[in-house]
Amino acid sequence: MSINPVELLKEKVTPAIINQQQLAIDADKKSSLLAQFYPILLSILHKFPERIQSTVNLESNGLNTLFGNQAPIIRQVVEGFSTHHSLPEKTVTSLFDQAIPLSVKTLKDEVGQDKIGAYLTSHLKDIATSFPAWSAGLVSALGLSSSLGTQASSQHVYSKEPEKKSGMFGKLLPIIGLIILALIVIFLWKSCQHKMDMPIPRNNEASEPTSQEMAQAHHEEEQDTEQSQITLVSGVGNEVQACHATVGNEGLSEAMQKRLAQIFGSNVKCDITVDPSYTTALQGVSKFQQVMDQIKAVPNASIDWQGNHITVNAPDAKSMNELVEKIKAVEPTLVVSATTPLNEEQSVDSSIDKSRSALSMLNGSSTPQDVANALNIQIINFPTASKVLPQKNKEILDEAAKLIQNVPNVKLIVAGYTDSTGNAEANKTLSQRRAQSVLDYLVSKGVNKDQLTAVGYGAENPIADNVTAEGKFRNRRIEFKVVNTENGKATVVDGEHEVKNITQ
């Protein structure tokens, strides 16, 4: 039996759009948005098969082509997804324009262009049941109700049974059923807001977080924007080569530290940053131990867990694919994928485009952390053993220099890192020179040199493994860290080049 086309696009298209080589802003939101857009895309291609050919080779204007240049419909679609996923309309449009031609190409590669129509017809029920519940109005506006309504009654939004004559009770029965169902859903929803079911046996190394701790980690969920995230690289046995996380409050930070201690031992270290702009819960966290046990079992494996999306890597393809399947089996609600094959040029270009887009949305009222976050999206891929700043990154730094001069209280550390290949001291020297190159360029564009500090860390503080090409690529990086600003959080560097987070 052929694969569900919605799942096919989630597995093939989403990782190609959401850059997994470096942490992206709102990656989980964008993945969720694309997953909910695919049923609409597939339904339109099913209804208008002539648009398959016209979209496959597009480089831009994918929305106009897919929706037949119907501006009001496009506007409704973009606004709907923007509202329900808390993403700017410009970002939503860009994601859709990328996803449309890539999705058609993926379908073509899977079954052949001539068989796409039949393929979609055979999976129309799967497509219909994948629509988000909030999109009923879009289905009607797009004229999809008739084609989707012919499917089985299991469709959660669109199936419409023929009206049958019945008495008053018969007419009221569905309404009564809906009311009862709604009450059950509300009850379960409220229960979930105050409980995180993470059954882990107690041991001598760390005490299990209490239900109160986990409840505290949940109570502000709906007010947050960025999704909590953790990146971890396994070693041998209990060794953890790297661990970094960003969460929304101290409660989740402490609970996560305790869970990690129970899994990897009391000596485990994880650099966890508390940022109130992040959610106070990690989706799928009830299976945190089971997921991390799978990573622990494979030396030099890595996991990047953001919201409901997990990306894994391992030293060989067999181990990586097995990890994907095992984690999917542990928690089917999570979107689990393997790291995409490394394409350095494509990764760099994609990161620069995203960084440029993020910078374009900032202004003089933005915070220093906003500037650092936008800059950290870009990948600065220096030539081997060189400190020469790539030309393509200078355009991003030009824009950043203007912002740094206009945003109050900006003071940044430019931190350079390498992978572990070669001599440790030589790597630290090289990373220092690369960080200094970035600093010097920003100063040449008008930034006050007192606002910047260059620090080279060499192979310290890895964010990925140092075995795979993908891991080494991620570890070779420049990071911008905020220093002594008035945003409530500061990152400082002591004499030993140790990064510490403090609250002012």
Q: What per-residue confidence (pLDDT) applies to 185?
A: 60
Q: Where are the beta strands (DSSP E) in 276-323?
A: 302-306, 309-313
Contact at 8 Å (CB) between 466 and 474?
no
Which pLDDT score is estimated for 164? 43
pLDDT band at 496 (very low <50, low <70, confident <90, very high): very low
d(CA 157, CA 143): 14
pLDDT for 157 beyond 50: no
Whether CATH 3.90.1200.10 fits 211-338 = no
Name the average pLDDT for the chain: 79
In a 3-state reduction of DSSP, which class is residue 139? helix
Would you kindly state where each structural domain of the chain is located, as residue ranges?
Answer: 5-148, 211-338, 344-503
pLDDT tens digit sequence for 403-438: 999 888 889 999 999 999 999 999 999 999 999 999
Query: In the predicted model, what is the mean pLDDT of residues 358-374?
Result: 87
Instruction: Output the CA torsion sign for 90, 91, 92, 93.
Output: positive
Range with the poorest average pLDDT among 17-21, 373-377, 451-455? 17-21
In terms of pLDDT, which residue wins out, 179 or 377? 377
Query: Quick one: pLDDT at residue 76?
Result: 84
What is the second-level CATH architecture of the domain 344-503?
2-Layer Sandwich (3.30)
Cα gap 31→18, rounded to integer Å: 7
- Give per-residue pLDDT as tens, 184-208: 666 665 555 444 444 444 444 445 5
Rounded Cα gap, residues 246 and 279, in angstroms:
9
Token digits for 153?
A: 């009654």
The residue among 490 and 470 whose pLDDT is bigger is 470
**Tokens 């629509």, residue located:** 131
Alpha helices for 417-468 (secondary structure H): 424-444
